[in-house]
Chain A
């Protein structure tokens, strides 16, 4: 299992992640042509303007209305994306296999960031359970997605702190990481792919077409 995870699984996971992502984005753009009224109104300026407002913390009114959630959400997403890329252990593997390496996070910081992701996931789940509005629109799949997302981080922490058998844990860590990657294009995690598209479209409908702001 370990050898498979260390070898082919990574390939498969990255292939599904990149291939699937490209497929989803291209098929969406093709489908947008059928809608007729999308592409003719797309303008870089207004698309980027909208994306920028929603990528900057407190850049939109809705973010300002709920500061705790905004901070948590930004920390969660930032840590989720950055930690795997800049963790020393991961870079060591790249170095070992491909001879490439880059700057890494100090150990304590990457550990903290991992905790933030796990904590964020827990808060999301608690919010889904406690807020009646969110609970009403929550399906079982929404919990599964959180599980998929935080599983590699939980197992990463367990491996870091050498809880249980390290080799077992690290194997599970690799598997959960692979599942996480491969899930991106085909689960709700695809929102990371579609965010620029939907945001840019709305930014253009508001800004380019209607001379109004959408943040």
Chain B
């Protein structure tokens, strides 16, 4: 095993947990995942890969680390999955630790590489298999595992108690009322058009985003509700830690909550991975081909209310802005053009990034990487120099990040590379520039 700054990172989730592993247990879990949980894709992808290395330059970690072969997508697969297959699961704890580090902290499962592989091999899926094995072995970075534990207990990712959740909504409702008359956060309203769901950092640390939404909903005249029970959090780090049973449980509750409230659709806040969990991975594990109830991402929702004139702009945002295309809503939903429509409607001076749309670089916070916590932050930053260079080239002052992971990740990148920029959610700009009609002024 190579000695690198990354291999020396201390994380009890890896260092301590491997002490309990036995070779038999590792082998059993590896064989179970490789033969019982996976079939055609694993086999065909392994058989088809011609080791051409054309995926390498898709990866921001590879580019940012001066083309270090260990960071090419195929290199990560070689170091982990190929070895597991070759050795039929006969590997030791140190190997499991290494593959856990690679799969959880050096790959954000952003799927950009599958757009560069001539065969369209879903390399992120292969890394997810590695994550699944690590999860079943209990070797997951501590903070990510803690997030999954939170999901298992609370169905939200930050251990938010039920009373804290409701209390925060009530407080934010009051805040919103001071900005927009009669703004409300209608709780448990059966039959509303929209159930609005968010991720736990909103009530926990960014509560004003909930208040912002109450203002926007009021001005746009949307019939909406939020649940006062578990099931309000649409995020899903269990999906990324490889604990698919917990992932399924969280998603089931989310959808059943919308069905219980008789909502016609779910509108979700500015988060990318939550979209992936709620629309793709979660429903599929549970047995739904597509989400059982329509799910509208914030980008699309903002597009709709701007395009239809429900929200009018009083005066556009002046500072030069650029944008982060979140992998899970742009590569994962094709929302790039709508995102630009929204940004152009709200902002006067928009400078686009390059590469963009489906080809944009991941923020290196998604895929559960930022949830691996402080021990891995430096590694993440080193892994995303290209992101810093990409933003620097725009000359913008503000990076609009319609995704929580992107938001935190880009904030880290800006700080680490001293770019002197700021990040903002769309909703923060929208409440600033939207035209509040006189009758709604407090």
Contacts and interface: CB of A to CB of B under 8 A. Distances in A.
Interface in A191-215: 191, 194-195, 197-199, 201-203, 205-206, 209-215
A190 B39 contact: no
Contact of B120 (A35, A131, A135, A203): A203
B51 interface: yes
B57 A40 contact: no
Interface residues of B, number: 46
B341 to A, nearest CB: 15
Contacts of A209: 280
Contacts of A211: 333-334
Interface string A68-107: 0000000000000000000000000000000000000000
Contacts of B74: 137
Contacts of B299: none
Interface string A26-43: 001101101101101100
Nearest to B38: A35
A190 B48 contact: yes
A133 B119 contact: no
A167 interface: no
B40 A194 contact: no
Interface string B174-189: 0000000000000000
Interface in A123-158: 131-139, 142, 145
Given A134-B53, A136-B69, A191-B119, A210 B44 contact: no
A199 B116 CA distance: 11
A184 to B, nearest CB: 12
Contacts of B333: 210-212
Given A139-B51, A188-B50, A191-B48, A198 B75 contact: no
Contact of A202 (B62, B122, B280): B122
Contacts of B284: 37
Contact of B119 (A66, A145, A198, A212): A198
Contact of B50 (A29, A191, A210): A191
B40 A35 contact: yes
A190 to B, nearest CB: 6
Nearest to A139: B51
A32, A40, A60, A210 — which one has the most chain B CB atoms within 10 A of its CB? Answer: A210
B331 A212 contact: yes
B40 A34 contact: yes
B40 A210 contact: no
A47 to B, nearest CB: 10
A40 B289 contact: yes
Report whether over half of chain A's contact residues are helix, strand or loop; otherwise say mixed.
helix
A138 B44 CA distance: 18
Nearest to B72: A133
A176 interface: no
Given A31-B39, A34-B40, A198-B44, A134 B51 contact: yes
A66 B62 CA distance: 17
B163 to A, nearest CB: 38
A62 B116 contact: yes
B330 interface: yes
B318 interface: no
A195 B117 CA distance: 11
Contact of A131 (B53, B78, B118, B330): B53
Contacts of A40: 289
Contact of A198 (B38, B48, B70, B72): B48
Instruction: With a 10 A CB-CB cut-off, give which of B38, B70, B333, B358 has the most chain A CB atoms.
Output: B358
Contacts of A213: 115, 334, 357-358
A11 to B, nearest CB: 26
Interface in B57-75: 57-58, 62, 67, 69-70, 72, 74-75
| 10 nearest A-B pairs in the assembled complex, by CB-CB distance | A202-B120, A211-B334, A31-B40, A134-B53, A136-B69, A32-B40, A34-B39, A212-B334, A194-B48, A62-B116
Interface of A: 28-29, 31-32, 34-35, 37-38, 40-41, 50, 54, 60-62, 65-66, 131-139, 142, 145, 188, 190-191, 194-195, 197-199, 201-203, 205-206, 209-215
Given A60-B118, A136-B78, 13 more contacts: A31-B43, A35-B38, A38-B40, A62-B118, A131-B53, A133-B75, A137-B74, A138-B51, A197-B44, A199-B120, A201-B41, A202-B122, A214-B115
19 contacts: A32-B41, A34-B39, A34-B40, A60-B116, A61-B115, A62-B57, A134-B53, A145-B50, A191-B48, A191-B119, A195-B48, A195-B119, A198-B45, A201-B120, A202-B114, A202-B122, A210-B333, A210-B334, A214-B115
Interface of B: 38-41, 43-45, 47-54, 56-58, 62, 67, 69-70, 72, 74-75, 78, 114-116, 118-122, 280, 284, 289, 330-334, 355, 357-359
